[in-house]
A and B are shown apart, each in its own frame.
Chain A
Amino acid sequence: MPTLLRLIERASGHDRVVATRGYVAPLADFAWGASLGSHPSDLAGRSVLLCVGDMAKAAAALIDLDCCARRIVLCPPGWDHALLAVAAQDAEVDALVYDDERVAPPISVDVAIPCGLPLRPLRSPRVEAYETEWILPTSGTSGPPKLVVHTLRTLMGAIADAPLQQWATFYDIRRYGGLQIFLRALAGRGSLRLAGAVEGVGGALSRFGAARITHISGTPSHWRNVLMSGEGRLIDPDYIRLSGEIADDAVLRALRALYPRARIEHAYASTEAGVVFAVDDGRSGFPASWLERDEPVQMRIVDGALCVRSDRRALRFLGATSLPITDGDGFVDTGDQVEQRDGRLYFVGRRGGVINVGGAKVHPEEVEAVLNAHAAVRASRAYARKNPVTGAVVFAEVVLRDERTAHAECEREILAACRAQLPRHMAPAGLRFVANLPITDGGKLFRHG
């Protein structure tokens, strides 16, 4: 059974670190110290909600908790009390690791332990008795995200032993894509540098450049930010990885031009299905012939959506209303729609037209509900419009109650109402006034794709 401490011991260079701008976790120090006080064994066998702001601290807590806790629930930053409470209930949480002993824990549990760096000396032996369940939220749409269960075994299915790699990522390591990079870095022989929200892309790039990182990952939106920053040359990586969103030809081309020497790969993975594949031929999409491959990950297309059978997938959903994670044949339905052109498969969007705005998912129906509630609006259809920065932005077609009000002032007022009632990424960037909206034979609003 792999454990994080074993991975670190295997290549225990004294200069290996996981670092953010604010904190450094030196990996060799876990031989004598812990981030969870002197007695991390107090958390043995518990279901632990990990609710820590800084990612280097979160990384340290993961190393301390692996094989000690029964469960680790990884909370992405920004979860409010309501989301934490639902997650705590679904995962039967009985302990909390939180950020700062000077403030009250965000929820009330039996045991709450603050996480701190630098490490403190261990005063009791570590407990390494559990195959810890790693609980990850799916990249949520509306309502509370669903929680899925992974183990280190499923999470590391796509990670092979590697020579010295100095990693950096723009991802949050508490989400599947970032967690993959954290594990890759630990399984390798080098360090991991993490980008923070406050330092901006230029600040992160300059730290990454100073650390001479060789491998770096982020979403296409992260990479578009790098390209727009004009500071991309602060790093000179051997390898660039894109995942989490559809990588289009424009971003791949621009990265190729900026980093002519790097191997550039776009990967496809989901929290539920795990890592499926990576493509490094410089083009978007992937060869259709890969559907015929049988190991280790099998793919098939059902009603236009990619389905995946793999031992890297999550084991199950957690919670009272949880559904099975696979169909009867063991395939996970990813909900990602693909289209075949000239022997290649391209991702076209999510089933049901869920709109991905820079990694944040938007149900068009939720936007329409707000639009339709406006006094001037009779009907509406929110849709994705392709965008060079965030991949997509939300636009909407609107049928007005009175066509004579179709002018710029009315558009501004409706848009302002949306911004007041919706999260920023969900509010439409613009409207089109139309005379009517087509409906399907089933009487539902017609949606493209």
Chain B
Amino acid sequence: MDLRATIFDEIRTVAAEQKKQLPPLTDELSLQGAGLDSLCFAILFARLEDITGGDPLAMSTDFPRTIGDLVALYDQALA
């Protein structure tokens, strides 16, 4: 599984479902700047938990700030 591609896909799916406009996705893009609100992130993290079988956010004291941070967080958790 390409984790980065999976996460990017899931972000696009949630944005489309919730009718949110996304800027082009990059590792540097801040989560706050992605145009998604709390509910979008809640849905995204729930689905990523289903896909990856892990919920690294519940364990972490450091909340991810960029999409790259988010990928890294899941990457470490699944390693």
Binding site for B on A (CB under 8 A): 200-202, 221, 224-225, 227-231, 250, 253-254, 257, 357-358, 385-390, 393, 395, 415-416, 419, 424-425, 429-430
B residues within 8 A CB of A395?
A: 46
For A250, the closest partner residue in chain B by CB is: B58
Q: Which of B30, B39, B60, B64 contacts A390 (CB 8 A)?
A: B39
A residues within 8 A CB of B58?
A: 250, 386, 388
In the assembled complex, the Cα of A137 lies from the Cα of B42 at a distance in Å of: 27
A230 pairs with B32, CB closer than 8 A: yes
B residues within 8 A CB of A227?
A: 63
B residues within 8 A CB of A200?
A: 32
A425 pairs with B39, CB closer than 8 A: yes
With contact pairs A228-B31, A228-B32 given, residues A429 and B43 touching in the complex (Cβ less than 8 Å): yes
Q: Which of B32, B41, B50, B65 contacts A389 (CB 8 A)?
A: B41
For B69, the closest partner residue in chain A by CB is: A230
For B57, the closest partner residue in chain A by CB is: A388
B residues within 8 A CB of A386?
A: 58
A225 pairs with B38, CB closer than 8 A: yes
Question: 24 A–B contact pairs at CB < 8 A?
Answer: A224-B38, A227-B63, A228-B31, A228-B32, A228-B41, A228-B63, A229-B32, A230-B63, A250-B58, A250-B61, A253-B61, A387-B42, A388-B58, A389-B38, A390-B42, A393-B42, A393-B46, A395-B46, A424-B39, A429-B43, A429-B46, A429-B47, A430-B47, A430-B50
State the interface size on chain B (CB cutoff 8 A). 24
B residues within 8 A CB of A393?
A: 39, 42-43, 46
CB 8 Å contact bits of B38-79 with A (1 = contact, 0 = none): 110111011100100001011111111100000000000000
A358 pairs with B42, CB closer than 8 A: yes
For residues 7 through 44 of chain B, which have their beta carbon under 8 Å from a beta carbon of chain A? 17-18, 30-32, 38-39, 41-43
Minimum Cβ distance to chain B for residue A370 (Å): 16
B residues within 8 A CB of A229?
A: 32, 65
A residues within 8 A CB of B32?
A: 200-202, 228-231
In the assembled complex, the Cα of A393 lies from the Cα of B47 at a distance in Å of: 11
A residues within 8 A CB of B47?
A: 429-430
A residues within 8 A CB of B61?
A: 250, 253-254, 257
In the assembled complex, the Cα of A9 lies from the Cα of B76 at a distance in Å of: 57
In the assembled complex, the Cα of A227 lies from the Cα of B39 at a distance in Å of: 15
A419 pairs with B17, CB closer than 8 A: yes
A357 pairs with B41, CB closer than 8 A: no
Minimum Cβ distance to chain B for residue A290 (Å): 27
A387 pairs with B45, CB closer than 8 A: yes
B45 pairs with A388, CB closer than 8 A: yes
In the assembled complex, the Cα of A158 lies from the Cα of B64 at a distance in Å of: 36
In the assembled complex, the Cα of A116 lies from the Cα of B12 at a distance in Å of: 43
Apart from A202-B32, A221-B38, A389-B57, 19 more pairs, CB < 8 Å: A224-B63, A225-B38, A228-B32, A228-B41, A228-B63, A230-B30, A230-B32, A230-B63, A230-B65, A250-B59, A254-B60, A254-B61, A358-B42, A387-B45, A388-B45, A393-B39, A393-B43, A430-B43, A430-B50
